Structures are given as structure tokens and as C-alpha cells.
Amino acid sequence: MTKYYLHLDYKDSYIAKFKTTTDDFNSIYKEVSEHIIKDGFKQGFTIDKQIAKYTSFCDEIHRQKRHSEKIRASDFIMFLSCYLALCKLNQIKHHEYMFLKIKKRKSRLQK
């Protein structure tokens, strides 16, 4: 199985990388972020309110990263969810993230 890293930039700053098993944006979105948008609609939030919430959270993580503050792993996962939701809602451009294939290196001892 091929593995990839998903590198995320937000406001021209590197934020994080995540291991994935695919480079298909839509499958990662469905697995990680689709439920937060649906839950938002179920709770009565409009698209504009959801965009404001997701942007606010991403801005806070960006501020913490810029000031070298500790960020919990669960916050990085929530950042990924908000980030992908913003991408799906056309608030973040597709050139602000990239997939890189993980290359397996062969040991020098193996021949």
C-alpha cells in the first residue's frame, strides 16, 4: 500500500503534515471533515457561520504555531478537519496543500 504525507500551509505558513494512505482529496475529506459540516447543518448553523467557526479555529492554531506555543495532537486533528472543510467550501485554494509520496529507502546492507 502506498503511503503519502499531506502537508498543510495556512496563510503562507507551514502548519503540519499528516500520514495518509491516498492522495485523493475527496476520500480524505469524507473520512475526516464531512461529518462536521453535516453536524453544523443539523444544529442549525448557516454556511457563513460554519466558515467563520472553521476560520477562527485555523487562525488560532496559526497564531499558536507562529508564537511557538504547544499544540495538542487533538487540536492538529481538528485543524485538519476545519482546513478540509474550508477547502470544500472554497475558502482555501488547492495550492495551499500538497501530497508527497513516502519513499521507502533500502538499507545499504541489503543487496
pLDDT given at position 111: 53
Show me where the domains of the chain are located.
4-101
> Which residues partner with 14 through β-bridges?
9
pLDDT given at position 109: 62
DSSP letter at 105 equals P
Q: Count of H helices and E strands in the chain?
A: 4, 3
Q: Is the pLDDT of residue 93 over 80?
A: no
Q: What is the pLDDT of residues 23-66, one digit of tens each?
A: 888 888 888 888 999 999 999 999 999 999 999 999 999 999 99
Dihedral (C-alpha) 62, 63, 65, 68: value to the nearest 10 degrees?
170
Of 35, 28, 27, 89, nearest in space to 58 by CA: 89
Q: Is the pLDDT of residue 73 over 80?
A: yes
pLDDT given at position 52: 95
pLDDT given at position 29: 84
pLDDT given at position 30: 87
Complete DSSP assignment for 60-93: HHHHHHHTT----HHHHHHHHHHHHHHHHTTSS-
Q: What is the pLDDT of residues 1-28, one digit of tens each?
A: 668 888 888 888 888 888 888 888 888 8
